[in-house]
Amino acid sequence: MRLRHIEIFHAIYTTGSITNAAKILHVSQPSVSKVLSHAEMQLGFDLFERVKGRLTPTDEAEMLFDEVDKIYQQMRSIKNTAENIKKSEYGQINIAGSPALGFDVIPCAIAKYHHKHHQVNFNVQTVHNDAVMQTLLEHKCDLAVLFAPNSMLGVTSIELAQSELVIVYPKASFPAAPKKLTLNQLKEFEYIDIGDSGPLADLLWTRMMQDSINLEALIKVQTYFIAARLVAQGVGICVVDRFTAQGNLSDNTAIASFDPPLTFPVKALYLDNKSLSKVSQEFLSYLSDEFSNS
């Protein structure tokens, strides 16, 4: 039996007539009759007998129906799955992001997307700039969201937003709570250095060279949020991305931009030879909106 034979047979068997089968399949009665006749010819036996104006399954049809019903249910499942994929109701989003984006932006975007598409699965991990290429090539993620990533052969990048490096400082150090500070104003304060922090460290270093100013650090840490938490303990000042700063503000700390600002792009990356799934493409718009609102 062909799939069309199965569909017609199942419809007639469950509705009891060619008329009803034609209605639920949205086809004409003659086409249903034609497919039924072809199915019976292929099988070599009748599937229905007409009894008092109603089609009654033959013994052969009764023996066949259980197996046909299994296939029919699978066909319906395939159809429903295809529809859900089309509507972005099923799928898997494997995303890796800079740790700083884990404070608010990525969780908020996931929460909003999950609320509307609760059957889409998420696999979320953090990744640093120096490891992103390997993470993409090993298919540990399909999409990576990073600060100021370098251009990489075979990788497509989409700019989602512009952000900036900011100074997190104890309010007691600047009672006037300035919204902008220069490197020269930071020289006399203890500086918490974030060692080997990739493109953002290069951005700060370039500004230091331009201004001929070097901030001496007695404390070095590996992550931005630890630096921000140390400032909250009154240890010194630090320079971090705005997302980390806003995610770690306390009652006794404040944020200032550089004067002039130190800006950088936030980009989404994926491999050229592996196109993004429909659900991943749709999630990108949620991410972009979240950046706009942050």
Task: For residue range 43-99, list pLDDT tens digits in order.
Answer: 999 999 988 777 899 999 999 999 999 998 888 888 876 775 665 557 889 999 888
My answer on whether 141 and 170 are in the same domain is no
My answer on whether 202 and 232 are in the same domain is yes
Does the reported pTM lie above 0.85?
no
What's the CATH number where 224 sits? Answer: 3.40.190.290
My answer on whether 51 and 100 are in the same domain is no
Determine contact, residues 12/4, Cβ cutoff 8 Å. no
Q: Which amino acid is at 185?
A: Q
- 48-51 and 54-57 as β-strands: parallel, antiparallel, unpaired? antiparallel
Tell me which residue range forms the domain holding 274.
92-161+266-293
Token pair belonging to 132:
């992103």
Closest CA to 40 of 60, 62, 66: 60
Summarised one tens digit per residue, pLDDT across range 20-29 is 999 999 999 9
Summarised one tens digit per residue, pLDDT across range 1-39 is 888 999 999 999 999 889 999 999 999 999 999 999 999
Closest CA to 145 of 164, 158, 162: 158
Query: Number of structural domains, the chain?
Result: 3
Mean pLDDT of the chain: 90
Token pair belonging to 99:
């740790």
My answer on whether 271 and 153 are in the same domain is yes
Instruction: Give the pLDDT confidence score for residue 107 in this predicted structure.
Output: 94
Helix or strand or coil: residue 181? Answer: strand
pLDDT at 193 over 60: yes
CA distances from 120 to 101, 124, 136 (A): 21, 13, 21
Determine contact, residues 105/291, Cβ cutoff 8 Å. yes
